[in-house]
Amino acid sequence: MSRPRSVWHVSREYAGVAEAGGVKDVVRGLAEASARAGLPATVVLPAYGFLSREQRSGAPVASFTLSVPDHDRGSAFFDEPVQVRETHLLGVRLLLVDSPRYAALRDVYTYTAEDEGENHWRKKGTGHWDSHQLNLILQLAALETAHALDESPGVVHCHDGHTAFLPAIMREDPRHARRFQETAAVVTIHNAGRGYHQEVWDPAFASLLTGLPPDVIGRGILNGAADPLLLAGSYARLVTVSEQYAVELLAGSGEELSGGLGGALRGRGIGLSGITNGIDPEPWDPRTPQRSGIPAGFDPQSGDLEGKRKCRQELARQLGVTGVPAGVPLYAFVGRLTGQKGVDVLFQALKRLLPPGSRRWFVVLGTGQKEMEAMLAWLAAEPAGDGRLTYLPRFDRALASLIYAASDFFLVPSAYEPCGLTDFIAQIMGSIPVVHHVGGLVKVRDGETGFSYGAQDARELAAAIERTTRLFAYEPAALDRIRRTAFQEIFSLHTWDRVLADSWLPVYESLAAEGPWTRK
């Protein structure tokens, strides 16, 4: 098969430019790997108001005005002037969509405390009221920019529900259909959980918003709403971020968690495949502490962990923790404090594991649902948690790196997990993951590259932790073997260059060979 001419990624996030969740790392990792492999990669991304002047200073390459409906005023439309600027970063062309609505944003998806201070209706942490308009502006701008540049990408790669209306618009609008008649589309579902679909609750407004006829919108109706992920299945290849997550979705596992998307795809004969995400290991490699930002280097591959012990000492110093014996294992959790991440199960497991005399130290770093923040704060302040549980209600990138480097075990108790990135980072940093055996976390093989447990239950998680504590005390050689194997496999199997060559490049090539298609 021949390679496509180019791949255009359309995304709300890009690592190092506009960051929110894991999408940013996937888009950048995949785009840079494509560029290194000689496949031209372009990323179409909003020029958010929080970007620096330098980031927004690219050369103008397109200007146009979009007509977008205003949900607050029924069918009224407003004009959104757009200027697209081109810049380059490590071989990837970035096309930044600059418009008044994006220029006003202080965060990728949600309002900030400053926004709330200006308008008390815009609560910190809640989504933008005009999120559907924002999504549409990006999607239409990607298509209009291709017209302006007189380009027809070989493949348009859309990321998550924010961009998943694009394939239908590209096929059904006659003007776009002519330009993109040789362009294929793929949509990556990064997370099919409730709240991630970007569904439009009023199908009539979805038709008004996208310009798609009601019968086309009707192909994507799920639970009464217009679901862009479901609709995309009629116009694009659907791929999610791990093989196991695809299997679970189509099998209907945890159907309530995905809002029934898997069952709807299965019922309509729409296929869904999975490709496990990769990682760029270099920024986390503890052998180069000046790059990974940790106070002392070490080498999990050779078993030289003296620097890890120094990182633990520095962590204890920074946190003001005293009295934890050096021979006690350190367990870490870094992430969002939500039910999806299993923090409720973690809390119940910690209650079992923190009686006086227990020989473990737990560190939890993150923010999220207020009730979960409150539960962890309460437990850390209790006598049982004193000196055994350190809860840090914030996110600090440098501190997160230090926690990864200092810890012996890393806890990933997610209720569901499309792929998982923290387990990769932990393995690079020589911290052995303990994961719920679900979704993308099945890549952690029990007793070989980490540890896993079956049921999403506090007893199961506590038992897995107790098992690792025993191994820490009595079988350090077994843990050293696991640590070495996990570290080696990241560099041999899970880099973005390897994932592109083995999985994504064949997808792009097959899409280019198939040509455009629409499922009737």
Per-residue pLDDT tens digits for 151-184: 999 999 999 999 999 999 999 999 999 999 999 9
Same domain, 27 and 105: yes
Q: What is the pLDDT of residue 21?
A: 82
Residue 331 scores a pLDDT above 80: yes
331 and 246, same domain (yes or no): no
Higher pLDDT residue, 495 or 397?
Answer: 495
**pLDDT greater than 50 at residue 494:** yes
Among candidates 209, 235, 240, which has minimal Cα distance to 220?
Answer: 235
| Residue 1: inside a domain | no
Residue 22 lies in a domain: yes
pLDDT of amino acid 8: 98
Do 422 and 472 sit in the same domain of this protein? yes
Provide, rounded to the nearest whole percent, the portion of the chain with pLDDT above 90: 78
Q: Are residues 314 and 299 in the same domain?
A: yes
136 and 237 assigned to the same domain: yes
What would the pLDDT profile of 298-319 be if each residue is shown by its tens digit?
Answer: 999 999 999 999 999 999 999 9
Q: Which DSSP letter does residue 503 get?
A: I
Give the pairing type, strands 432-436 and 409-412: parallel
- On the question of pLDDT at 25 being above 60, the answer is yes
Contact at 8 Å (CB) between 8 and 155? yes
Q: Which pLDDT does position 23 carry in this prediction?
A: 92
- φ/ψ of 136, rounded to 5, equals -65, -40
CATH number for the domain that contains residue 319: 3.40.50.2000
* Per-residue pLDDT reduced to its tens digit, 502-514: 999 999 999 988 8
* Separation CA 464–CA 458 (nearest Å): 10
Per-residue exposure over 76-107, b if at least 16 CB sit within 10 Å of its own CB, e if not:
eeeebebebbbbebeebbbbbbbbebbeebeb
pLDDT at 518: 58
Q: Do both 215 and 258 map to the same domain?
A: yes
Q: Inform me whether the pLDDT recorded for 252 exceeds 80.
A: no
Q: What is the pLDDT of residue 520?
A: 41
What does the longest C-alpha to C-alpha distance in the chain come to?
Answer: 72
pLDDT greater than 50 at residue 250: yes
Domain-located, residue 482: yes
187 closest CA partner among 116, 239, 117, 244: 239
Same domain, 302 and 392: yes
Distance between CA atoms of residues 273 and 157, nearest Å: 15
Same domain? For 477 and 503 the reply is: no
Whether residues 245 and 352 share a domain: the answer is no
What average pLDDT does range 34-50 have in this prediction? 96
User: What's the pLDDT at 325?
Assistant: 74
Which is more confident, 389 or 2?
389
* Nearest one of 61, 98, 60 to 82, comparing CA atoms: 98
Average pLDDT score, the chain: 92
Q: Which residues constitute the domain of residue 154?
A: 7-278+499-514
Domain count, the chain: 2
- With beta carbons less than 8 A apart as the criterion, state whether 368 and 377 touch: no
Residue 266 belongs to some domain of the structure? yes
> Does residue 38 form part of some domain?
yes
Residues 189 and 211 in one domain: yes
Closest Cα to residue 189, out of 181, 198, 201? 198
Would you place residue 73 in the very low, low, confident or very high pLDDT band (cuts 50, 70, 90)? low
The answer to whether the pTM exceeds 0.95 is no
Q: Are 239 and 319 found together in one domain? A: no
CA 228 to each of CA 47, 96, 185: distance values in angstroms, whole numbers, following the listed order = 23, 23, 14
**C-alpha torsion sign, points 176, 179, 182, 183:** negative
Please check whether residue 72 lies inside any domain of the structure: yes
Helix (H, G, I), strand (E, B) or coil at 470: helix
Residues 269 and 327 in one domain: no
User: What would the pLDDT profile of 84-137 be if each residue is shown by its tens digit?
Assistant: 999 999 999 999 999 999 999 999 988 888 989 999 999 888 889 999 999 999
Pick from 507, 498, 494, 508: nearest CA to 40: 508
519 part of a folded domain: no
Average pLDDT over residues 270-283: 94
Confidence of residue 202 (pLDDT cuts 50, 70, 90): very high
pLDDT value for 34: 96
Q: Could you give the CA distance from residue 429 to residue 427 in angstroms, rounded to a whole number?
A: 5
452-462 pLDDT, tens digit per residue, is 999 999 999 99
- Interval 334-393: pLDDT, tens: 998 999 999 999 999 999 998 776 789 999 999 888 899 999 999 998 887 777 899 999
Identify whether 343 is part of a domain.
Answer: yes
